[in-house]
Amino acid sequence: MRRRFKADPKWITVRHPTRCAEPNCQTHINPGERGFYYPGDKSLYGSRCGHGEKAERDFAAHRIDEDTY
């Protein structure tokens, strides 16, 4: 099976306070909260603001596109 992504993004429990990686999103992500994390570019998207779910959907959509080729 061909794999394009070296490090698939995944849901993690945040250990350090950080901010959502979505541009213009000011949401702080606190330790213990869930975030959708891209290891490749170290981006973390918050769940509370909905960007984690959005990033997950975007990633799944891209992967479906990949499989079509």
Using the minimum distance from each CB to Zn ion, give the nearer residue, 28 or 66.
28
| Phi then psi dihedrals of residue 35, to 5 deg | -145, 155
Provide the minimum distance between the beta carbon of 27 and Zn ion in the complex, in angstroms, as a whole number. Answer: 4
Q: Residues touching Zn ion: how many (CB under 5 A)? A: 7
Instruction: List binders of Zn ion among 4-63 (CB under 5 A).
Output: 20, 22, 25, 27, 46, 49, 51
Residue spans of beta strands (DSSP E) within 1-69: 10-13, 18-19, 28-29, 34-38, 43-46
Among the listed residues 30, 33, 59, 35, the one whose alpha carbon sits nearest the alpha carbon of residue 46: 35
Kindly list the residues in this chain that would bind Zn ion in the complex (CB under 5 A): 20, 22, 25, 27, 46, 49, 51
